[in-house]
Amino acid sequence: MATTTNYGWTTPDDTALVKDGAAAIRTLGSSVDTTTKNLNPETTLGDIAYRSSTANVKTRLGIGSAGQLLTVVSGVPAWAAAPSSSPASASATVGTKQTTSSTSYTNLTTSGPAVTLTTGTKVLVIVSSTQGSESSDSEVGRMDFAVSGATTRGESNDTMLSLHNQGTTNPYLPRASAVTFLTVTAGSNTFTAKYRSAGGGTIAFQSREITVIDLGS
């Protein structure tokens, strides 16, 4: 008996005498029915069919839930939750006035503030404070941050918030901020504010805040 090229359905040979035409038609029809069903496994409105590892057979992917997105998992289509429409962020504040005369970055009496956030590889870090000199009207206070966890990053004068007193000793300068775009290792990262005095005089910091915004990868 001959077979069709693509699906292997059984048909009479060109020179065959068809003894039982009804049976031959029924056999062919059953083959067509089985193949058609294998190629159309959907059962519910919105189902999707995709090629399986078996030739001429498709697999049914049931319709997803509202808001889900179609993605690929282990080489096959799958539904997944849509990412958040807003970036993840965290912030922390220490309002108390505290001082340091250290010329290297350090913690104040109340360390931080610090935030821990699960991030991608790109973040924005914003540090803010009000500063004032306790010893000289020419002193400079500096605030930056360190990163620990998935990423190890020390403080840097390249990204610091630096405020320079220009008047009488101990005037509090207007609250200011420094914004840093940073590449990190994806995972749980802790960002901790650090402080120093540029010249060794006593610098007071107040209304300290750190905010981290995850920008994904």
Per-residue pLDDT at 136 exceeds 70: no
Least confident range of 71-85, 159-173, 186-200: 159-173
Please report the pLDDT score of residue 26 as a whole number: 80
Per-residue pLDDT at 51 exceeds 90: no
Please report the pLDDT score of residue 82 as a whole number: 80
Q: Where are the domains of the chain?
A: 2-80, 89-214
Confidence category of residue 40, pLDDT binned at 50, 70, 90: confident
Please report the pLDDT score of residue 179 as a whole number: 97
Out of 2.60.120.590, 2.60.120.760, 3.40.50.800, 1.10.645.10, select the CATH number for domain 89-214.
Answer: 2.60.120.760
Please provide the average confidence, as pLDDT, over all residues in the chain: 87
The mean pLDDT of 151-178, rounded to a whole number, is 79
pLDDT tens for each residue of 142-151: 999 999 999 9
Do 120 and 96 contact (CB within 8 A), yes or no?
A: no
Please report the pLDDT score of residue 3 as a whole number: 77
> What CA–CA distances, in Å, run from 45 to 41, 117, 118?
12, 41, 38
The mean pLDDT of 186-212, rounded to a whole number, is 94
Q: How many Å apart are CA 131 and CA 65, to the nearest integer?
A: 52
Per-residue pLDDT at 43 exceeds 70: yes
The mean pLDDT of 84-110, rounded to a whole number, is 91
> What CA–CA distances, in Å, run from 163 to 152, 166, 174?
26, 9, 9
Confidence category of residue 38, pLDDT binned at 50, 70, 90: confident
Give me the torsion for CA of 44, 50, 55, 57, rounded to 10°: 0
